[in-house]
Structure 1
Amino acid sequence: MTAKENKISLPLTIASVLLIITLLVYGMMAMRAVLIPLAFSILLAIILYPLCRRLEKWKIGRIWAIIICLIVATVLVGGVITFISMQIMAFSNDLPQLIGRANQLLEIVQVWVEQTFNVKQSNQIPLLKNSLTEWAKTHGALFASTISATTSTLGSLLLLPVFIFFFLLYRNFFTHFFHKVFNNTPVASINTLLKKVQKVVQSYVLGLGLVILIIAGLNILGLLLLGIEYAIFFGLLGALLTIIPYVGIFIGSLLPILMSLLTKDSVWYAVGVAGVFFLVQVLEGNFITPNVVGSKVSVNPLAAIVGLILGGMLWGAAGMILALPFIAVLKVIFDSVESLEPYGYLLGESVEVTTQNKDLTENLSGRIQAAIKKQSNSKLKN
């Protein structure tokens, strides 16, 4: 190929790649109502697979084993939803008192705005209404389309049990499908790759479940010490929102902060709630998740944040939840294909950063142990 042909083919290649990416993104957005349940079904089917296989080893038929798995998953999810619903019902009973307190705070804010910005209280509400009206005109169509898409997606989530059932039922069929698609690749290599994908998904999801339990305990403990009402509900809600990496726990802190402002006489309670959630976030990001999930899902924070933003733009909250496990799966695939190894390296954690975090964790752990030992020795002497 001549230099002139190279110059012509390069722009054509770039244009073709960009066109394919554009069509792919458009297709994923247009078919989100089906693709989101499918993506969640794949993850849940991978999680339920070990239980299904164990039941089958106990001489239970595959169909009945899958049904038992679905019942177990439904009971667990239903239990969490029931608990949250009961907490919301109890919370609604105190709503009139909270509204009254909110009106008092609004009056205080109005006085402060009048004294600070010289805007009379009688003009503040119309000004706020006009601002909200203008905002609604600008963003109304976007908001309506978002609500419509979300409603459609929630309706499609009813298909989850059906999709999971067939993924587990036809798992050997799908394995043979990959063998036929990549018929030039040794069967052992494909099976090894599928096992790695299964392992990384299970490690991420099960590790995330344990992280949620730990964070829920820390949140609830901190809120109880501050005397915040509905501490269990807010602590659990904040922990559940950690399924949205990096930003979920901050979103979960907004409600208890608002509750502390409405029910407490001092703003320092709100500061304390913010401090509790910030401390939990620091512990989660630097110690809990790295030690619980470990290096099995070694995606660097930059790749995770970019994936989080892109997932949110593509599929909303569901895309943010699915971003990290699917980036981890992509990394496993890239690492297993020689020509794609550089991209797997780009998604992975830096060795230097990992070593520094490990040294920091060991150093902090050693200091804590030394402090505990010193305190024990002092007690023995006394």
Structure 2
Amino acid sequence: MNTFKKLSAPRSLGSTLLSIVIIVFIAYILEDVVVPFLFAALLSFLLVPITQYLENHRIPRVIAILISIVLIIAIIGGVMYAAYTQVIKLQDLFPQIEKRFNEWISALASLLSNFDIDKQQLIAEGQKHISDAVKSGSQFLGATIGGTSNFLMSIALLPLYIFLMLMYRDFLKTFVFKWLKDTSKHKIVTTINKVKSVVRGYITGLVLVILIIGTLNSTALYFIGIDHALFFGFFAAFLAIIPYIGVALGSALPILVALITQDSYLAAVMVAASFAVIQFLEGNFITPYVVGNQVSINALIAITALLLFGKLWGIGGMILALPMTAILKVIFDANPRTEAWGFLLGDAENEDVKHVTKYFRFKEFFETVKKRI
């Protein structure tokens, strides 16, 4: 018997690896279908309490689902429209960019004039490249807006997916019971409830983090005197969806704008310093206690998942990386055979942060705010 187990283990491992490769390949090929479907599943988990509340007040399920979908579309549409109007206004910065780069080239030409370099030719060549760069920037901005529109068109079926998932949620639960008939219904229901809790806690916590970080960023940029402070502040906050590197990437743009639009380099230094402080607060205090223990994924797994999902599905994959990994952790924890993998994905509680923050009662404050959202 032991010999048989030794011989069958490599076959089992090989079958598992082959299954993973096939699943990843199919997910890559069917990106346009899979990614909207997963986003719809996450939003459906978020909308279930709303539809249940409406149904409990004797509103038919179809009407309750339609009201929930219209509500979420209105919120997302409002945010997208506000972002669109701000992006359009960024075109006003291109003349300032061209002017500042011309000044830098003139200063560089004066500095290099002592090295027997034709100053006028250097300025002419520099201005030519700057004009080309500004034109390319305008074209890129237009392409970005067009690309965003194409992306929105590719997920046009999202409301339909959400509607059907909410409509047939009882049917899908019955399917899971039949599929896992050897598992107790209590355990299945407990696992499903944990998945719902993870998804809702992550999404609501993430929205609250974006609001807090965006407000802090915008306030700092406003007092420093950076144009379009609201856009740059919330753009950096939105990139917080991408863990660990999102805030750093979001801070690069306002620093560059400060260098271009301000007469002193002090403004860029102040932007960098303020964003560094906000990033420290976000990483050590705000996110851990707003999102809480709902997504308890260790840093190594989070970064790995971020890179893998990003390579697989691009920006959509990077957004899905953490919630999907957290859902996998819940599923792994529920099965004794995969419990070790769930442990590998998890994160030990940071006692140092817990010791410091207990004096500031951050957790109680954020939990109160989350319950009122």
Into which bin does the TM-score normalised by the smaller protein fall? 0.7 to 0.9
Provide the C-alpha distance between the structure 2 equivalents of 1:176 and 1:29, rounded to a whole number of angstroms.
29
The residue correspondences of 1:279-294 to structure 2 (distance < 5 A) are 279-294=277-292
* Cα contact 2:242–2:318 (8 A) shared by 1: yes
- State the shift of 1:119 in Å: 8.7
- Relative to 1, partners in 2 of residues 1:233 and 1:12: Cα closer, same or farther, differing over 3 Å? same
Query: Deviations 1:271-326 (Å, cap 9, x if unpaired)?
Result: 22122222111111100011111122211112111111111111111111101011
* Cα contact 1:307–1:324 (8 A) shared by 2: yes
Residue in 2 that maps onto 1:21: 20
Residue in 2 that maps onto 1:224: 222
Q: Does 1:57 align with 2:49?
A: no
- Relative to 1, partners in 2 of residues 1:236 and 1:110: Cα closer, same or farther, differing over 3 Å? farther
- Relative to 1, partners in 2 of residues 1:69 and 1:198: Cα closer, same or farther, differing over 3 Å? same
Aligned with residue 196 of structure 2, among 195, 198, 219: 198
The residue correspondences of 1:72-111 to structure 2 (distance < 5 A) are 72-108=71-107
Residue in 1 that maps onto 2:166: 168
- State the shift of 1:265 in Å: 1.4
Provide the C-alpha distance between the structure 2 equivalents of 1:55 and 1:110, rounded to a whole number of angstroms.
69
- State the shift of 1:237 in Å: 1.0
Task: Report the secondary structure of 2:243's partner residue.
Answer: coil
- Relative to 1, partners in 2 of residues 1:58 and 1:2: Cα closer, same or farther, differing over 3 Å? closer
Residue in 1 that maps onto 2:248: 250
- Relative to 1, partners in 2 of residues 1:271 and 1:330: Cα closer, same or farther, differing over 3 Å? same
- State the shift of 1:20 in Å: 2.2
Q: Does 1:357 align with 2:353?
A: yes
- Relative to 1, partners in 2 of residues 1:120 and 1:179: Cα closer, same or farther, differing over 3 Å? farther
Query: Deviations 1:100-154 (Å, cap 9, x if unpaired)?
Result: 2233334445667x5899998868969x99xxxxxxxxxxxxxxxxxx9998754
Task: Report the secondary structure of 2:156's partner residue.
Answer: helix
* Cα contact 2:96–2:260 (8 A) shared by 1: no
Aligned alpha-carbon RMSD (Å): 3.0
- Relative to 1, partners in 2 of residues 1:55 and 1:261: Cα closer, same or farther, differing over 3 Å? same
Provide the C-alpha distance between the structure 2 equivalents of 1:51 and 1:115, rounded to a whole number of angstroms.
70
The residue correspondences of 1:232-311 to structure 2 (distance < 5 A) are 232-311=230-309
* Alignment: residue pair count: 344
Aligned with residue 178 of structure 1, among 173, 176, 179: 176
Residue in 2 that maps onto 1:324: 322
* TM-score, normalisation: structure 2: 0.83
- Relative to 1, partners in 2 of residues 1:279 and 1:154: Cα closer, same or farther, differing over 3 Å? same
Provide the C-alpha distance between the structure 1 equivalents of 2:184 and 2:334, rounded to a whole number of angstroms.
13
5+ residue gaps, structure 1, are 130-147, 367-382
Decide which moves more: 12-21 or 252-261.
12-21
Residue in 1 that maps onto 2:41: 42
Residue in 2 that maps onto 1:373: none
Residue in 1 that maps onto 2:136: none
Q: Which amino acid aligns with 2:58?
A: K
Task: Report the secondary structure of 1:158's partner residue.
Answer: coil
Decide which moves more: 150-159 or 207-216.
150-159
Provide the C-alpha distance between the structure 2 equivalents of 1:350 and 1:118, rounded to a whole number of angstroms.
63
What's the % identity of the aligned pairs?
40
* TM-score, normalisation: structure 1: 0.82
Provide the C-alpha distance between the structure 2 equivalents of 1:288 and 1:252, rounded to a whole number of angstroms.
17
Provide the C-alpha distance between the structure 2 equivalents of 1:342 and 1:165, rounded to a whole number of angstroms.
36
Q: Does 1:337 align with 2:335?
A: yes
Provide the C-alpha distance between the structure 2 equivalents of 1:94 and 1:38, rounded to a whole number of angstroms.
38
5+ residue gaps, structure 2, are 130-145, 362-373
Residue in 1 that maps onto 2:371: none
Decide which moves more: 154-163 or 303-312.
154-163
Provide the C-alpha distance between the structure 2 equivalents of 1:325 and 1:83, rounded to a whole number of angstroms.
26
